[in-house]
C-alpha cells in the first residue's frame, strides 16, 4: 500500500461503529467523535488479489484519556534515552502513585510492570468475552485505571483471522492472549535498563504469572455469561465446546 498512511471510507465507518459498539458492550476503549470524508482519492487492493480500485478517503477523530503504549517506552530504551524513559514512566503511568502508597523506589518499576501484566490479561479476556479479535492487539496503558482498546482498522468479531494481510495467522482469535504475552515481554525488555538483578528476577516471575491471570479472568467472564455457578470440572469443557461451535458457524 506504499505506506501512504490513509484510510478509506468503508474502513473508517467500520472503525467508528466498532469503537462505539465496544464502548456499549462495556469494553474499555477509545471513542469515535467524528468521521470526515476526504475529497482525495485513495487506491486500495481491498482483498489483496491484485484488483486495485479507487476509493474515497476519510478520517476518524478518536478520543482517549491517553495514547501511551508499550512502544512509547520501547523506542526510548532502544535509543538509550534512559532519562526520558524514566520521565515517561512517571508522567504517563502513574508511577508516583505507587510511591504515595509507600511502595519503595526499588520496587516502583516492578510494581508498574505487575499492574500492566494484570490489566493486559484483563482487557484481552474482555475482548474474548465478546468475540472481539484485534488485528494488531493494540491497547493504551492507563495504569491504575485499566487499559483500553485503540486502533480499529484491523479487527473483527468471531472471525478466525481479523487481518487480511496476516497470512500466517499471527493475530487470529485464538492467538490474542499469546500476542499479549509477546507485547509484555517487549515491555520487560524496555524496562530492564532501569532494573537491578533482583528486580529483573522479580519482573520475570511476574511475567510468568500472566497466563494464569488471563485464564482465571477468561474463565470467570465466560462462566458469568453462561450463568454457571460454583466450580464444576465440566465447566471448562463446555466453554471450549461453545467457542468451537461459534467459530465454526
Name the nearest CA neighbour of 98 among 88, 110, 86.
Answer: 110
For residue 162, the model assigns a pLDDT of: 55
CA distances from 241 to 168, 245, 248 (A): 25, 6, 11
For residue 134, the model assigns a pLDDT of: 84
For residue 100, the model assigns a pLDDT of: 52
| b/e per residue 155-190 (b: at least 16 CB within 10 A) | bbeeeebbbeeeeeeebbbebbbbbbbebbeebbeb
pLDDT in tens, 104-149: 555 788 888 998 999 999 999 999 898 888 877 778 887 666 677 8
For residue 117, the model assigns a pLDDT of: 94
**What pLDDT tens digit does each residue of the chain (249 aa) get?**
566 788 899 989 988 999 999 999 999 999 999 999 998 889 988 877 889 999 999 999 999 888 888 998 999 999 999 999 988 887 765 554 555 554 555 578 888 899 899 999 999 999 989 888 887 777 888 766 667 788 776 777 766 555 656 666 666 777 888 989 999 999 999 999 999 999 999 999 999 999 999 999 999 999 999 999 888 889 989 988 887 777 655
What residues does each domain of the chain span?
7-63, 70-226
Q: Which three cell numbers stand for residue 175?
A: 492467538
Whole-number Å distance between alpha carbons of 62 and 248: 33
For residue 145, the model assigns a pLDDT of: 64
Secondary structure (3-state) at 213? helix
Amino acid at each position: 500500500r506504499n505506506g501512504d498512511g490513509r484510510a478509506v471510507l468503508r474502513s473508517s465507518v467500520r472503525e467508528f461503529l466498532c469503537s462505539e459498539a465496544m464502548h456499549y458492550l462495556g469494553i474499555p476503549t477509545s471513542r469515535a467523535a467524528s468521521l470526515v470524508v476526504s475529497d482525495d482519492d485513495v487506491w486500495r487492493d481491498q482483498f489483496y488479489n491484485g484488483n486495485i480500485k479507487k476509493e474515497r478517503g476519510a478520517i476518524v477523530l478518536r478520543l482517549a484519556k491517553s495514547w501511551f503504549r508499550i512502544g512509547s517506552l520501547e523506542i526510548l530504551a532502544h535509543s538509550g534515552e534512559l532519562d526520558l524513559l524514566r520521565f515517561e514512566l512517571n508522567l504517563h503511568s502513574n508511577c508516583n502513585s505507587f510511591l504515595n502508597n509507600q511502595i519503595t523506589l526499588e520496587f516502583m518499576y516492578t510494581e508498574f510492570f505487575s499492574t500492566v501484566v494484570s490489566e493486559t490479561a484483563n482487557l484481552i479476556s474482555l475482548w474474548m468475552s465478546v468475540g472481539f479479535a484485534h488485528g494488531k492487539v493494540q491497547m493504551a496503558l492507563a495504569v491504575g485505571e485499566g487499559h483500553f482498546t485503540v486502533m480499529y482498522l484491523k479487527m473483527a468479531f468471531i472471525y478466525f483471522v481479523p487481518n487480511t494481510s496476516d497470512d500466517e495467522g499471527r493475530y487470529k482469535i485464538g492467538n490474542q492472549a499469546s500476542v499479549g504475552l509477546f507485547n509484555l515481554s517487549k515491555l520487560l525488555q524496555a524496562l530492564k535498563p532501569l532494573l537491578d538483578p533482583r528486580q529483573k528476577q522479580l519482573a520475570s516471575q511476574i511475567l510468568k504469572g500472566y497466563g494464569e491471570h488471563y485464564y482465571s479472568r477468561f474463565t470467570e467472564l465466560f462462566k458469568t455469561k453462561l450463568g454457571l455457578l460454583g466450580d464444576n470440572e465440566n465447566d471448562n469443557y463446555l466453554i471450549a465446546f461453545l467457542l468451537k461451535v461459534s467459530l465454526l458457524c
